[in-house]
Structure 1
């Protein structure tokens, strides 16, 4: 079973595990760069938790997830239409003022991350803001039935700088998302520059 298959099979359990996670602090840091009514793409929206929060704050949100079953649950939870699409199929041309990717790219293999980042950057308007978080570490491979790719802060900074189109605004580390107390997440905010 591939990673998307995993999310399809265990969608209900994943929904229950993640829908109540407190992401308020990260969302607030991200939305400080935006104005009410701005467009946000929620990459790998999962339960739709963050999409709903942004929508309730007055943003124009487009939730997107590659798992068909997660999309169904997110639509029920948010009342929003959710795009069932893989990152490599995205073809947005400067549509969004902000792209939110909370642990959205953690399953993308390192040898595919550049092309996915290219599509993410294309989706952003000039001056748009990108939020991403990754698991901190240097592991890449299958773990608990899914493919994971971790990053160190240095490696993540290098990845973003090498695009030549992003200017890092802020980078910080927090404790993980509750599953593992030793796990840390690296968060980054970057602005699209011409």
Structure 2
């Protein structure tokens, strides 16, 4: 079972666990770098929680997820059309002012992340902003039925430097907001397209 199959099979469970989590503090860091009404791609939107918030705040948001079942739930939750495609299938060209990849790129193997970052850079307008988050650490492999690639500030900085398409704006750590997960730390990454 790959990560997409997992989210198709356990979509309702994942929806319930994530839809009400408060991400406003982290969102503020991202939105402070954008203008009202800007275009945002919610990359790996899951439940649609963040897409709905962006929409309600007046942004032009495009939710996208690889899981067909998560897309269905996100459409019901947000009332927005959700694009179903993988990161590898993305083919946008200078469309978005910001891309929000909250706990989604963490399912990409490290050796493939640079190629995805190149697609993301192409999708962003000049000086576009990317937010992404990863579990903090150096683990790479399967946790249960899902693939994870954790990062530290140093290891993600190395990937970004090697990719050469982004300038780091801010790196910071936070605790998991989900109940019962306070032992999990997250690496938050804000970068600007060069």
> The TM-score by the shorter chain falls in which range?
over 0.9
Relative to the length of structure 1, the TM-score reads: 0.97
**Counterpart of 1:28?**
28
Q: Distance in 2 between matches of 1:87 and 1:69?
A: 17
Q: Matched residue of 1:36: which SS? A: coil
Alignment partner of 1:140 is 2:132: no
> CA offsets per residue over residues 71-125 of structure 1, 9 Å max, x none?
0000000000000000000010110000000011011011111111111111110
Paired position in structure 1 for 2:185? 184
Encode CA deviations 1:129-184: one digit per residue, 9 max, x unaligned. 11011101111111121111111110011111222221111110011243532211
Distance (Å, rounded) in 1 between the aligned partners of 2:141 and 2:4: 15
Alpha-carbon displacement from aligned partner over 1:39-98 (angstroms, at most 9, x marks no partner): 000000000000000000000000000000000000000000000000000010110000
1:164 aligns with 2:149: no
Flag structure 1 segments of 5+ consecutive residues without an equivalent.
Answer: none
Alpha-carbon distance in 2 for matches of 1:130, 1:3: 22
Give the TM-score, by structure 2 length: 0.97
Would you say the 8 A contact 2:109–2:140 is kept in 1?
yes
Partner residue in 1 for 2:173 = 173
Alignment root-mean-square deviation, CA: 0.9
Residue correspondences, number: 193
Q: Name structure 2 gaps, 5 residues minimum.
A: none
The whole-number CA distance in structure 2 between the counterparts of 1:41 and 1:92 is 10
1:128 maps to what in 2? 128
* SS at 1:35 equivalent: coil
Aligned partners of 1:154 and 1:182: how far apart in 2? 21
